[in-house]
Structure 1
């Protein structure tokens, strides 16, 4: 979670409103994605935005599953909040006929942060078919061991994502107070293995319904998380989770967080290839190996040659 200013807390957490025509995104027209200021969950694409001349940013659509609607107590308006963290965004109106979709999400600028196309795609610019994916699914020793074996995965590196640089170290992250998640940062050849296949492996290798927990590992650093590198990954991740929800594979709701990728901080060197180097240790035998064996049996045909 991002640290909020007092005014941001007033709007996002106390359901306040910024003054009309005062927000930085009222006349903003760059291409990219608008994300939740509090948790960085992607909310709106730039193509959803239109000028409603109302004094606040207006959108006629949202990223699937990103926004929650709740009628106000007096029944006069419908509040919109971030589906992931519950942060207040504004209100939604229908029947104004301002666009073909006949919907207006009236959103406080201060509730959002904008990620440009260049920012979202920066990690994929070097080689067009080589892409990045960043996942949190509990202890990164287990997650790295699984993804490193897949054919088409060029590298899988343990590290931290979601917090500040000065707290991106194992001791601090283990406190559960840094905002970081233990993640695996993956470079993959999209011509060999797709992002959707990586998502399939991700959800096969952990329980996405346990909040801030995987087995006996407890704390927000072990949360189920997808850090999306571009708008396409946002769409694919949301669609994938929606399909899993419709299939009712798990009895409890999926709590996986989807956030815009910002910075990956590599873990200390002794975490590299931990399972391969220390597979005889009790934690590896009791926790990592069962997950590794289960996923590898199912995805044996996708292992590196």
Structure 2
């Protein structure tokens, strides 16, 4: 979660409103994604934005599953909030005939942050392969699982969600840096889809335990998807809704969906850790049972 200023807390957490024509995104017209200021979940595409001349940023659509609606207590207006963190965005209005979609999300600029399409942190450096960045507990186990999948070209353990100066194993293990232990996956979309990767992801860890996987406790072990594209956000939300509807888990899924910003590679001794240190006690007690269970579930997807 982003550290908020007092004014940001007033708007996002206490449902306040910024003054009209005072926000930085009122007349903003760059190409990219608008994210939740608090949790960085992608909410709107730049093509959703239009000038409503109302004093606040206006959007006539949203990324599917990203925005929730709740009728105000007085029954007069409908509040919109971030689906992931519940942060207040503003209100939604219909029937104004301002665009063909006939809807206006009136959003506080302070509730948003923006990532341009040409932002190097959002760019895909690999032409042939797609990228996925996932956290599902200790990366030793997650790396072993995804390395064994057909269509996966490369898996690298590392850290996302925090700042560079703290991106090292000892600091991240303290649970105070904001990073999650993640795997950075390069995959061939002709052989394996992102939805198939998500299927493996949700079947290889417990997505209902907050900041915990088994005996590994702390925010560095949180269940998280760092989305590289808005399509990944859509597919992740779709998968979570499908799992909820099927009652696959007895408790609600708490997997965080956040826009990818930066990946920091873990120290080289973490590479292929399970393959190299399979007899180590942690690998025997934790990694091996999960890996063996995974192999029986996904025989058709193994290399």
What is the TM-score normalised by the length of structure 2? 0.94
Residue 69 (structure 1) aligns with: 69
Q: Which runs of 5 or more structure 1 residues have no equivalent in the other structure?
A: none
Residue 139 (structure 1) aligns with: 138
Deviation at 1:35, TM superposition (A): 0.6
Deviation at 1:122, TM superposition (A): 4.8
Which aligned pairs between 1:78-117 and structure 2 lie closer than 5 A? 78-117=78-117
Which aligned pairs between 1:22-33 and structure 2 lie closer than 5 A? 22-33=22-33
SS at match of 1:64: coil
Residue 282 (structure 1) aligns with: 281
Structure 1 residues 103, 120: closer, same or farther in 2, change over 3 A? farther
The answer to whether the Cα contact below 8 Å between 1:224 and 1:257 also exists between their aligned partners in 2 is yes
Residue 237 (structure 2) aligns with: 238
Residue 190 (structure 1) aligns with: 189
Deviation at 1:183, TM superposition (A): 0.5
The answer to whether the Cα contact below 8 Å between 2:122 and 2:260 also exists between their aligned partners in 1 is no
For this pair of structures, how many residues does the alignment match?
A: 303
RMSD: 1.8
The answer to whether the Cα contact below 8 Å between 2:121 and 2:262 also exists between their aligned partners in 1 is no
The answer to whether the Cα contact below 8 Å between 1:120 and 1:231 also exists between their aligned partners in 2 is no
Distance in 2 between residues matched to 1:301 and 1:31, nearest whole Å: 40
CA displacement, residues 110-153 of structure 1 (integer Å, 9 cap, x when unaligned): 111112223388542541x3111100011111101100111221
Deviation at 1:297, TM superposition (A): 2.0
Q: Which runs of 5 or more structure 2 residues have no equivalent in the other structure?
A: none
SS at match of 1:35: strand
Which aligned pairs between 1:1-305 and structure 2 lie closer than 5 A? 1-119=1-119, 122-127=122-127, 129-304=128-303
SS at match of 1:235: helix
Distance in 2 between residues matched to 1:242 and 1:156, nearest whole Å: 27
Deviation at 1:63, TM superposition (A): 1.6
SS at match of 1:142: helix
The answer to whether the Cα contact below 8 Å between 2:122 and 2:261 also exists between their aligned partners in 1 is no
What is the TM-score normalised by the length of structure 1? 0.93
